[in-house]
Every structure is written in structure tokens, then in C-alpha cells.
Amino acid sequence: MQNFSDDNLVKWLKLTQVKNGLGPTRIKKILENFGGLDSLFNADNLELKSNSYFTTKILDNFKKIKEANEEPFYKIIDECKRNQITIIPMLDNLYPEKLKYIPSPPLTLFVKGNIELLNTGKKIAIVGARNASQKALEIAYNFGLELSNKNITIVSGGARGVDTKAHTGALESENKKTISVLGSGFFHYFPRENEYLFDSIIRNNGLLISEHLPTFSGSRISYLQRNRITSGLSDAVFLVAAEKKGGGVVQARITHLQMKPLFCPKLDPDITPQDGLIDAVNKYGAISINSPNELISHIYNYKLKSLMI
């Protein structure tokens, strides 16, 4: 499905608001059975009840959302248009292939900037702690700069610390292409002090991504959940610094579950926090490296091994 009409976008946004177990796999099956959004929303109660993918709770919630006022949904679409935000449902051809195969793919992407980056070019995520040491920040910047100069798109989360330095390195390279995965909606940039960074990413042909409505202000859970998108979009993840309990270790675990190559700097007393890096190596098989070239070499060998299996 491609080029959703506004009417179909409203139906899609409504469908994604249904709770009690209506996830990506079930939505796909339901739409396949009914032959699309229009047929689903035009189905009578008997047809809906006869579908095995509708539990009683899901069906009750679907009926409520189906009958809900459509005006707020059209308002969201209009606001996105006015702010150059593109809405990409999971069934749209623009939806990135890599994300389709991760556990719990986002149902909808809201994107702003160079949409071509979603499905083109090599991508490496550079992530890490907000309170990283000076040496860790220098590593994040240098890797962002050097990898970007090799025509690799840098993916990160736009947070303080390592994320900011990784994006900045990419923006100061010849390539300049970088993707920031937000944990909030576009009308609530976080952290607020990085608004200039997000604007710079757009101006330099980069891309901002969120799975949330533009009005969503973010939450602790949403900032952790975006990790699956950051690594899901990427060919590999470079974890620069991380605490034992924090977003960095969560990212390492998710990267491992997604079977993506995971890297970190060689341990150094000046690279802190590093408890999470030790866990990344011992629990999730992170490979310690010294340079961007070493990272690229490992990825090449990793792909060769994957082809041979």
C-alpha cells in the first residue's frame, strides 16, 4: 500500500489506537483477511465477530474507536502537513524494510527531512551516556565525523552527551547525513537545548523520526523504546559509554536481540561511565575497537560470515 489518502490515514490512526493486544502482526492479519482498511471499517458486526483475530476486548475497543469523532485525526494530519511532517504507516512502501523485521516494529512513523535516508545507504548508530567523560565525547564526535566522511549515515537519539556529539560530528563532515530518533513528538523536542541541533539536522539534509504523535511530550518509557528503532534502522551499533543501569545497556540488549553487530571502545579509565560497556562485552558480545576503520572491517567480516551460514 502506498500514498495513503487522508481518509485512509484517519482509519489507520484510529486502528493503531485500539488497545488490548492489537499489535503489528495482528493488524496485518486482520487487514489481509478483510482486504484493506476500507473493507475493515465498512464490515458489519457479524463479519467482525467472525474474524478469529478479534478478541472480545479488541472488538469492543475497535467499535468505540471506529465510531469516535474523526475531526481530531484530520487535525493531526493537517498539523503534520503544515509542519512538513510525513506520516508513514507500517503498510506504506516508504516504511523502512529494516524496521519491518524487528520485534515490535513501530506501527507509524512521523518523519521530517530527507525521507530517502530511511531506505538508502549504510547506517551506523553511535549512542551512549548523557553524562559521558570528555574522552568519551571526543570518541563519539570523531567516529561521527570519520564514519560520515565515508558516506555512512550516523543514527542517534539526540540526547545530551554522546548522542549530541555523534550528530555534531556527522554534521561537520562532508556527508552531513544523520538521523535522530526522537522519544517525543515533533512539537516537544527534548532536550529543549538541542532544538538548534534538530533544526541543523533538517537544514543539512538529515532526518528526524518519531513513532509518536507530534503532540506527545515524551516519557521515560518512550525514551527507552526508541532504542529498538535506533538499532533497527542501523547496520551496526557503537556504544561509546554506558552506566550499568541505563539506556545504554538497554540499547546493547536490544541490539543483541536484533542480531546486529555491537561495538564499544577498548576499555580505558578515561572513558566513563564504563560499567555498561563491560556488560555489553560480557553479556551481549560487544566487540572492542580502536578506530572507525576497525569497526567497518568487522562489519564487512560479519556480513561475510552471515552469507556463509
Concatenate the DSSP letters of all residues of 170-194 into one string. Answer: HHTSSS--EEEE-SS-TTS-SSGGG
The reply to whether 223 and 301 lie within a common domain is yes
Quick one: 77 and 126 in the same domain?
Answer: no
Looking at the chain, the whole-number percentage of residues with pLDDT higher than 70 is: 96
Please check whether residue 191 lies inside any domain of the structure: yes
Residue 1 lies in a domain: no
Kindly state whether residues 74 and 123 are assigned to the same domain.
Answer: no
Q: How many independent structural domains does the chain possess?
A: 2
Which whole number is the average pLDDT over 107-113? 97
Q: What is the pLDDT of residues 169-228, one digit of tens each?
A: 999 999 999 999 999 999 999 999 999 999 999 999 999 999 999 999 999 999 999 999
Backbone angles phi, psi at 267, to 5 degrees: -60, 135
- The residue among 60, 82, 104 that closes a domain is 82
Residues of the domain holding 242: 115-308
Segment 29-53, tens digit of pLDDT: 999 999 999 999 999 989 999 988 9
106 occurs within a structural domain: no
Over range 109-132, report the average pLDDT. Answer: 96
What is the distance between the alpha carbons of residues 295 and 277, in angstroms, rounded to a whole number? 16
Do 245 and 162 share a structural domain?
yes
The helix/strand/coil state of 124 is strand
| φ/ψ (deg, to 5) at 142 | -65, -40
Domain co-membership, 70 together with 204:
no
Same domain for 133 and 179, yes or no, is: yes
126 pLDDT band (50/70/90 cuts)? very high
Pair 143, 54 in one domain:
no
pLDDT at residue 300, rounded to an integer: 76
- Could you tell me if residue 28 is inside a domain? yes
Whether 121 and 73 map to the same domain: the answer is: no
Neighbours of 199 (CB within 10 A): 12
pLDDT number for residue 2: 52
CA distance 31 to 106: 17
Q: What's the distance, Cα to Cα, between the start and end of the chain in Å?
A: 33
Q: Give yes or no: residues 59 and 138 share one domain.
A: no
pLDDT confidence of residue 309: 36
Q: Tell me the range of 11-25, 274-288, 290-304 where mean pLDDT is highest.
A: 274-288
Domain assignment present for 138: yes
* Residue 3 confidence class, pLDDT cut points 50, 70, 90: low
In a domain, 251, yes or no: yes
Q: Is residue 60 part of a domain?
A: yes
Quick one: which of 172, 72, 71, 162 has its CA closest to 125? Answer: 162
Q: Which of residues 305 and 19 earns the better pLDDT score?
A: 19
Please check whether residue 101 lies inside any domain of the structure.
no
pLDDT band at 1 (very low <50, low <70, confident <90, very high): very low
Do residue 169 and residue 43 come from a single domain? Answer: no
pLDDT over threshold 90, residue 303: no
Both 58 and 126 in one domain: the answer is: no
Question: Is there a single domain that holds both residue 142 and residue 73?
Answer: no
CATH number at residue 129: 3.40.50.450
Q: Domain ends where: 36, 67, 82?
A: 82
Tell me the pTM.
Answer: 0.93
